[in-house]
Chains A and B, each alone.
Chain A
Amino acid sequence: MRLLSTYLIGLIFGVGISISGMANPAKVLNFFDFAGTWDPSLAFVMGGAVIVTFIGYRLVLARSRPIFGEGFGLPANSTIDLRLVGGSALFGVGWGIAGFCPGGALPALGTGRWEVLLFVAALMAGIWLAKYFQSLGRASTANS
């Protein structure tokens, strides 16, 4: 029951991404190309998603706990540091190079296009690499 509903939630997200244009790199890159072939569609994706989530979260978080969980897992970290800004900047550079973001690329896998597979493979390698660097950092801090 829990897994079936989680699957359906993923499906709703996947349909939303597919019809919004977020899974289409040409559309994503054109959103950022103010000096060229500008296509403002993505502002409507973000707008629609944030407004619905803002209202939805207010309703849901008024409950004492989620349906299938003990409590709400909201990020407690509120520090704005170099790690956040540097990481986000690097993400932006990558997004501008490839035109795919993780949320757009994962549903796009369902189209079976080799370009998406290639991007997601590189994305997973990048995540793995960063986690490896982070574990090295933690180990050296622990040793010193």
Chain B
Amino acid sequence: METVFTPWQSLAGGALIGVAATLLMLSLGRIFGATGILSGLISPGPSQDRLWRLALLLGMVSGPLAVLLLTGQMPVVQVPVSAPMLVIGGLAVGVGVTYGSGCTSGHGVCGLARLSPRSLMAVLTFMIATAATVYVLRHVIGV
């Protein structure tokens, strides 16, 4: 499935992600990681700690609606993947980010911005693994 190259829109979106990561550090002193937010919500811990994660999650989920209000259009979500693949992929991502202690936001944005060698290693590893997986699925198996 072809997609349109959107350098400026992607750069602006990326900058907003950076603004959000900076503001979370400024207000709560926390790394903005989607993995940490989800893990904190489903594991036992102090309820006050769960409350800010819930507020952050609700804000994230409101993002597409805000875009709809501002532009009159819902963000484009094209899923060229079957339901079983979504489930297998979701399980692998969930187990992987828990053992790897982070994902694109935690390691990729916040970790790289902190010049953390651990995060750089994580990012290089998952980027290579993702590219290899896409290559095998699309060009070797032909899904």
Binding site for B on A (CB under 8 A): 2-27, 29-30, 32-37, 39-42, 44-54, 56-57, 59-61, 63, 65-75, 77-80, 83-111, 113, 115-116, 118-131, 134
Contacts and interface: CB of A to CB of B under 8 A. Distances in A.
Contacts of B6: 21, 41, 44
Contacts of A115: 77, 79, 81, 83, 86
Nearest to B109: A49
Interface of B: 1-35, 37-39, 42-43, 51-52, 55-67, 74-81, 83, 85-101, 103-105, 107-114, 116-118, 121-123, 125-135, 137-139
13 contacts: A10-B20, A18-B64, A20-B16, A21-B13, A35-B138, A44-B7, A46-B14, A96-B89, A101-B104, A106-B61, A107-B63, A123-B38, A127-B35
Contact of A95 (B66, B80, B114, B126): B126
A92 B128 CA distance: 7
Contacts of A100: 86, 89-90, 93
B67 A11 contact: no
A56 B18 contact: yes
Given A23-B75, A92-B130, A30 B52 contact: no
A49 B14 contact: yes
Contacts, number: 505
B43 A131 contact: yes
Nearest to B121: A80
Q: 3 shortest A-B CB distances, which residue pairs?
A: A126-B94, A14-B63, A10-B59
B117 A128 contact: no
B10 A45 contact: yes
B134 A2 contact: no
A48 B18 contact: yes
B103 A103 contact: yes
Given A89-B129, A100-B90, A14 B139 contact: no
Nearest to B92: A94
A45 B17 CA distance: 8
B64 A14 contact: yes
Central interface residue in A21, A26, A102, by most chain B CB within 10 Å: A102
Contact of A20 (B17, B86, B97, B103): B17
A13 B17 contact: yes
